């Protein structure tokens, strides 16, 4: 009897929690009225994705399907899994992206919120996400799979998108989950930052780590976020993740053994620092043309500056862009960072 009573209480509390959160979302949509993107019904969403015909991928919060709007525009539809999250990520995503308009930020075309049916509808990125192109065995000794020019453009584009989020748009937005999986590439390989579920509009900083750990792929968590030094958490935590991503972008194609798989970005960061100490005459790739060598060197130096343990030593995203666009000769040698990685072992 006691057990049944407890079960009843639990079910009742779950029921009310769910409804409160639904009401909160409805209130949010009403409050932000003109700012929120177009709202679609679930029937419209199903029609859009031709009843789940083409799956593009799967993240921690649900599957993504290719779809088409009635006017023929291609879209990617993320169907949020009802059992994951409590609506906070959904609200963050809609609230953050609707405040942005930038060539390096993915456009949220619309959303669906109908009881427990929730979906986010984005512009379609035909080249998928950056992670497909790094950690790639097809990279040659001379070049990563995408080639140096595209890789550099993606690095600069992502930096511009982040700088815009930090300084340029109406509300300062901290993303908190920069990693290759969320950098989407359009037809011309122009980088677009996506996935704003953990962004700063989620005001409860304490929940960031548990939300990160609960996701499908854990990104590069800055030490101050992981250690819950919330006094230090700022836009510099995005800079840390960006730096780790840069390092993995240049080193990713050169995975040399199974051991490196354990924590590849740490392995690459160590290697990069060794190259820097040796004067960077030789990096991950052999026989590079002078121009490509300069690109690799710049990305390496900037990457290591960004992953400095002390957030104050990391550059702002504006400075990152300046460093990437300037000459490699002008770059100062960064101090050796204490290498930290909860990525593969998020306990």
Return residues touching ligand ATP (CB under 6 A): 56-61, 64, 76, 78, 106, 122, 124-125, 128-129, 181-182, 184, 194-195, 215-217
Nearer to ligand ATP, 108 or 299 (CB): 108
Q: How far is the CB of 110 from ligand ATP (least distance, A)?
A: 13
Q: How far is the CB of 95 from ligand ATP (least distance, A)?
A: 17
Annotated binding site for ATP: 78
The residue count for the chain: 347
CA gap 7, 148 in Å, rounded: 59
CA gap 110, 304 in Å, rounded: 38
Nearer to ligand ATP, 95 or 328 (CB): 95
Q: How far is the CB of 131 from ligand ATP (least distance, A)?
A: 7
Is residue 111 within 8 A of residue 224, CB to CB? The reply is no
Q: How far is the CB of 342 from ligand ATP (least distance, A)?
A: 15
Residue 270 annotated in active site: no
Nearer to ligand ATP, 178 or 323 (CB): 178
Closest CA to 191 of 135, 146, 240, 253: 146
Q: How far is the CB of 66 from ligand ATP (least distance, A)?
A: 7
Nearer to ligand ATP, 12 or 38 (CB): 38
Six-digit token string for 91: 């609200």
H or E element in which residue 250 lies: helix 235-251
Other beta carbons less than 10 A from residue 347's beta carbon: 4
- Helix (H/G/I), strand (E/B), else coil: 206: helix
Nearer to ligand ATP, 166 or 179 (CB): 179
Task: List CB contacts of 177: < 8 A, sequence separation 6 or more.
Answer: 195, 197, 198, 212, 215, 219, 241
113 phi and psi angles, rounded to 5 deg: -140, 100
Position with the least CB separation from ligand ATP: 59
Nearer to ligand ATP, 77 or 276 (CB): 77
The active-site residue, picked from 22, 71, 136, 177, is 177
Is residue 285 within 8 A of residue 210, CB to CB? The reply is no
Q: How far is the CB of 125 from ligand ATP (least distance, A)?
A: 4
DSSP track, 111-151? EEEETTEEEEEEE--TT-BGGGTSS-TT--SS--TT-HHHH
Six-digit token string for 288: 């590079």
Strand 191-193 to strand 117-123: parallel, antiparallel, or no bridges (unpaired)? unpaired
Residues noted as catalytic: 177
């Amino acid at each position: 009897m006691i057990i049944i009573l407890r079960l009843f209480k639990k079910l009742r509390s779950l029921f009310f929690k769910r409804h409160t959160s639904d009401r909160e979302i409805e209130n949010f949509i009403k409050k932000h009225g003109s700012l929120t993107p177009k709202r679609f019904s679930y029937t419209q969403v199903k029609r859009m994705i031709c009843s789940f015909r083409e799956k593009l991928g799967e993240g921690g919060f649900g599957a993504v399907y290719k779809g088409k709007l009635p006017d023929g525009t291609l879209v990617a539809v993320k169907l949020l899994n009802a059992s994951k999250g409590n609506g906070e990520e959904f609200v963050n995503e809609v609230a953050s992206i609707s405040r942005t308009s930038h060539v390096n930020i993915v456009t949220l075309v619309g959303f669906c919120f109908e009881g427990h049916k929730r979906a986010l509808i984005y512009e379609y990125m035909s080249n998928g996400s950056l992670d497909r192109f790094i950690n790639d065995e097809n990279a040659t000794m001379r070049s990563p799979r995408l080639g140096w020019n595209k890789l550099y453009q993606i690095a600069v584009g992502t930096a511009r998108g982040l700088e815009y989020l930090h300084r340029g748009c109406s509300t300062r937005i901290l993303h908190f989950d920069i990693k290759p999986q969320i950098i989407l590439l359009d037809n011309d390989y122009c980088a677009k930052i996506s996935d704003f579920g953990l962004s700063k509009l989620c005001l409860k900083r304490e929940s960031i780590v548990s939300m990160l750990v609960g996701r499908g792929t854990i990104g590069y968590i800055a030490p101050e976020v992981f250690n819950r030094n919330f006094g230090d958490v700022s836009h510099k935590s995005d800079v840390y993740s960006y730096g780790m991503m840069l390092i993995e972008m240049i080193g990713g194609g050169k995975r040399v053994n199974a051991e490196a798989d354990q924590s590849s970005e740490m392995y690459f960061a160590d290697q990069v620092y060794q190259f820097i100490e040796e004067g960077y005459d030789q990096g991950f790739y052999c026989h590079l043309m002078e121009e490509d060598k300069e690109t690799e060197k710049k990305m390496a130096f900037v990457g290591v500056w960004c992953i400095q343990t002390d957030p104050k030593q990391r550059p702002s995203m504006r400075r990152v862009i300046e460093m990437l666009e300037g000459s490699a000769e002008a770059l100062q040698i960064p101090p050796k960072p204490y290498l930290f990685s909860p990525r593969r072992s998020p306990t």
